[in-house]
């Protein structure tokens, strides 16, 4: 599919086909950051790896020490793959679990690099797969769902949000709504129930207050619940 510039959250269950989809998008003008176990490095030092990358495509200068690859920590290896991909300045950046297995400080650093990358050129397109909804907070503008190797059309995050209204009220009234609308998740405390539905509910169909999930909550829902079409 042709994607407009923006940051796309690629979500879905394990083994749904997210990695396969990312690899299917590879081509001229695209750069891929593979999942940690799939990352390969050339040579014995960071400088060796950068020279190998430059034989395939132009690469901006990187301020990275001439360290030996085997001595890099998990976080440093993840940052290296990310920095190399960013340095290609490709218009399409594909990220497969780029923040997986790294500590909080390194994750914060990587997220800031992605924010800066988008800010440098608003015409860039980023598609990122992750199982951590917080990784997308403040980054994702659209969502793409993958279920059983079926890939959905992109949906703006704010449009997807309207498909998951949350209603809190007396248990009996929530149960009546649940009989008419599909439920994504519920929680009860005494006589009060909080339910998030998987379908829009109009004002005329519910007199109780309606709220909507935060970005992180929404991404978590979208990983298991298909958007109502």
Contact 22, 96 (CB under 8 A): yes
- In what helix (H) or strand (E) does residue 16 lie, and over which residues does it extend? none
* Segment 7-62, tens digit of pLDDT: 999 999 988 999 999 999 998 889 998 887 788 888 888 888 888 888 877 776 66
What whole-number distance in Å separates Cα of residue 47 and Cα of residue 89? 19
DSSP state of 98: T
Q: Which residues pair with 32 in a beta bridge?
A: 94
Six token digits for residue 78: 């993840």
* Segment 50-109, tens digit of pLDDT: 888 888 777 766 666 678 888 888 888 888 888 888 888 889 999 999 888 888 888 888
* CA contacts within 13 A on the Cβ side of 18: 24
**What is the pTM assigned to this prediction?**
0.87
Band of residue 166 on the pLDDT scale cut at 50, 70, 90: very high
């Amino acid at each position: 599919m042709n994607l407009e510039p923006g940051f796309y959250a690629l979500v879905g269950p394990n083994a749904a086909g997210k990695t396969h989809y990312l690899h299917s998008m590879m081509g001229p003008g695209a750069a891929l950051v593979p999942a940690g176990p799939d990352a390969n490095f050339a040579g014995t030092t960071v400088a060796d790896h950068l020279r190998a990358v430059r034989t395939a495509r132009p690469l901006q200068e990187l301020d990275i020490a001439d360290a030996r690859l085997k001595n890099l920590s998990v976080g440093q290896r993840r940052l290296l793959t990310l920095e190399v991909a960013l340095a290609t300045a490709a218009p399409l950046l594909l990220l497969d679990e780029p923040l997986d297995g790294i500590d909080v400080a390194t994750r914060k650093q990587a997220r800031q690099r992605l924010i800066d990358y988008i800010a440098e050129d608003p015409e860039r397109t980023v598609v990122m797969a992750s199982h951590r909804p917080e990784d997308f907070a403040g980054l994702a503008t659209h969502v793409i769902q993958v279920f059983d190797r079926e890939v959905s059309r992109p949906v703006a995050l704010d449009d997807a949000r309207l498909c998951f209204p949350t209603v809190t009220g007396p248990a009996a009234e929530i149960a009546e709504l649940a009989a008419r609308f599909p439920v994504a998740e519920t929680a009860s405390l005494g006589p009060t129930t909080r339910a998030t539905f998987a379908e829009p509910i109009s004002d005329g169909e519910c007199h109780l207050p309606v709220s909507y999930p935060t970005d992180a909550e929404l991404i978590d829902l979208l990983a298991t619940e298909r958007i109502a079409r």
